[in-house]
Amino acid sequence: MKLNYRIVIFALAIIFGITFSLPSLTQSEDGKKITLGLDLQGGLHMLLGVKTEEATKSRIKSITASIKHFSDRNDILIDGLSFDENEISFEVLDEDELSRFDEFFKDIEGIEVIKNMTAISLSLTSEEIIKTEKEAISQAIETIRNRLDQFGLSEPVVARQGEEQILVELAGIKTQKEEQRARELISRAAKLELMAVDEDRNARVYNMSDSDAAEYGDIILSDAKNSEIKYLVREIPILDGGMLTDASMGFDQNNRPLINFKLNAEGAEVFGDFTGRSIGKRLAVVLDGKVYSAPNINERIGGGSGQISGNYTVMEAKDLAIALRSGALLAPIYMMEKRSVGPSLGADSIQASFVALIGGFVLVIIFMMVYYRLAGVIANIALIANLFILLAVMSLFGATLTLPGMAGIVLTVGMAVDANVIISERIRELIYEGKSMHKAIEDGYANAMRAILDANITTLIASVVLYAYGTGAIKGFAITMSIGILASMLTAILGTHGVYQMLESRITKSKNNKLWFGIKG
Chain residues 329-368 in contact with other proteins, contact rule CB under 8 A? 333-342, 344-345, 348-349, 351-353, 355-356, 359-361, 363-364, 367-368
Residue 197: phi and psi, rounded to 5, are -75, 135
Q: Least distance to other proteins from the beta carbon of 287, Å?
A: 15
**257-263: strand order across its sheet:** 244-251, 257-263, 305-309
Q: What share of the chain is helix, strand, coil (3-state, %, to 5)?
A: 55, 20, 25
Question: Of the two residues 48 and 244, which places its CB atom closer to other proteins in the complex?
Answer: 48
Confirm or reject binding of residue 519 to other proteins (CB under 8 A). yes
CB 479 within 8 A of CB 512: no
When binding is defined by CB under 8 A, the residue of 463, 480, 496, 501 that contacts other proteins is 463
What is the β-pairing status of strands 333-341 and 43-50?
A: antiparallel
DSSP states of 234-286 as a string? Answer: ESS-SEEGGGEEEEEEEE-TTS-EEEEEEE-HHHHHHHHHHHHHTTTSBEEEE
Question: Of the two residues 265 and 464, which places its CB atom closer to other proteins in the complex?
Answer: 464
Question: Of the two residues 144 and 283, which places its CB atom closer to other proteins in the complex?
Answer: 144
Q: Least distance to other proteins from the beta carbon of 184, Å?
A: 5
Query: Which residues inside 34-73 make contact with other proteins, applying CB under 8 A?
Result: 39, 46-49
When binding is defined by CB under 8 A, the residue of 86, 125, 454, 510 that contacts other proteins is 454
Question: Of the two residues 369 and 490, which places its CB atom closer to other proteins in the complex?
Answer: 369
Q: Least distance to other proteins from the beta carbon of 507, Å?
A: 18
Question: Of the two residues 172 and 360, which places its CB atom closer to other proteins in the complex?
Answer: 360
Site string for other proteins, 170-209 (x = CB under 8 A): ------x---x--xx-xx----------------------
Q: Least distance to other proteins from the beta carbon of 354, Å?
A: 9
Confirm or reject binding of residue 518 to other proteins (CB under 8 A). yes
Question: Of the two residues 49 and 172, which places its CB atom closer to other proteins in the complex?
Answer: 49
Question: Of the two residues 49 and 250, which places its CB atom closer to other proteins in the complex?
Answer: 49
What is the β-pairing status of strands 157-161 and 333-341?
A: unpaired
Distances (CA, A) of 450 to 324, 454, 460, 496: 63, 6, 15, 16
Q: In this structure, is the dihedral angle defined by the CA atoms of residues 6, 12, 17 and 18, taken in order, positive or negative?
A: positive
In 3D, which of 230, 238, 232, 245 has the Cα closest to residue 275?
Answer: 238
Kindly indicate which of the ranges 301-309, 310-318, 435-443, 465-473 contains the residues binding other proteins, using the contact rule CB under 8 A. 465-473
Distances (CA, A) of 43 to 39, 56, 89: 7, 34, 49
Distance from chain centroid for Cα 130:
23
CB 44 within 8 A of CB 179: yes
Site string for other proteins, 370-409 (x = CB under 8 A): xxx------------------------------xx--x--
Question: Of the two residues 196 and 407, which places its CB atom closer to other proteins in the complex?
Answer: 407
Confirm or reject binding of residue 451 to other proteins (CB under 8 A). yes
